[in-house]
Structure 1
Amino acid sequence: MALVSVWISSPDTHSERRISPHLSVSQLKFKLEPITGIPASTQSLTLRRTAADADVLAVLDDDTKTLDSYGIREYMTIRVDSNDPHARGLAGQYTDDSHVDKFELTEEEYAARTDTVLQFKKRNQLGRFAPPAPSSSAPRPSLPADLVPGARCEVALSPELSRRGTVRFVGPTEFGAKDESVWVGVEWDEPVGKGDGSVDGKRYFETAPLRASFVRPDKVKIGDYPELDPFADLDDDEEDEMEM
């Protein structure tokens, strides 16, 4: 016998169950009593598409009919309510705490205890008891006055390697860490860069491909740096070979 998965929903419960569509409404009610806590004799059943759906597909009010005759399908919801507010049964016993003795403390009594979450946070400086974060408003080193777009520069990429180019951008960017607010965009004399002056779709300046890089200001030296001749170190014989 094929079973169907349905949701059983009541004021106190909501769970998934597998039931036979050939059950009669009367048989279903007796199965639902220990699940919902509502006596079978006072149950009012409605069939809905989902638990949140206010539209009722069918009222299961004929105890002799089967669930299949009401058109029950997979993952529909059977809503169980009580039509007798005075018939308590077991309904509400887990959600009604009006008759439960409670242990209560005033704010002053709670603050005076040593075994509380509050005291744990104080001891470990957590949450609102954590020390203030270091101020991020400390003044940043000022940039050289001659570090401006259009200035010739030499950039120290490593202790052994430096390259020359022209400053094309100086200022904040949308990439990099928050404490790195200023970058220098350089147009290299040679195609040794990583892009054309844009990063992540944001354009900061424009160059030919592979001519642009962004570097930190402390790596940049401004001066009268002419473009280097890549063949300056070749001897005459090598130059002759290059011309052939």
Structure 2
Amino acid sequence: MSSAVHVFVVSLDTRSERRFDLHTSVASLKGKLELITGIPVPNQRIQLLNNEEETEPIAYLDDDDKVLGFYSLRDFQVLRIIDTNPSTSFTGQLTDVSQVDKFELTDDAYAQRQDTVLAYKQRNRIGRFAEADAQSQSAPAPAPSVDISVGARCEVETTEENFHKRGTVRFVGPTKFGKGDGVWVGIEYDEPIGKNDGSVLGERYFECKPNYGVFVRPDRVKVGDFPVEEIDFDEEEEI
């Protein structure tokens, strides 16, 4: 017949299955249990239970001179070790989170970090960031408003001194050329100093005679009461 039993050793911080000889004294057992549970021998009180669900022990192993067989230990019973003076040991400190200082970040500080789940989702467009990115790609940016009216007289900026490129505004808005990047102003010049007849790449935006039409950016156009001037040359670069 075997003289050893398998029992569960539990404490506030530990749980393990152990094998002890029934001839082991309680005093010797306590020395082994200190290595297992971290509870000093003088602080140990050992309860014997049939299982871990029980709250009332069937015995206390209080006599250091008695051997385990005296208490009729059986396989798979439970030895629960109580720390009678936890202030002198580490009992409970591994599981008591109330003694741990919490590391906390404000929402702004968290958003600035690059090693967080939030930053990972932003970089890889995951979750709500994927939806926001898809919306931004599917919705084209609205064209900026331009205070230039079709039919207005205007003058186009030029680097030539005393050279006034004047005409009439015939078109204001986005175009298919120029990668669709914003608003263009279509002008019919007073003289044949333009680049087209109001159409570009097969797309017509307004009607005028060949070489009288031009498209420029709004910031190059000055609207006002500009009279017609006759000029003698037609070299200037516009679209």
The alignment's TM-score, normalised by the length of structure 2, stands at: 0.48
> TM-score of the superposition, structure 1-length normalised?
0.47
| Structure 1 or 2: more helix by fraction | 2
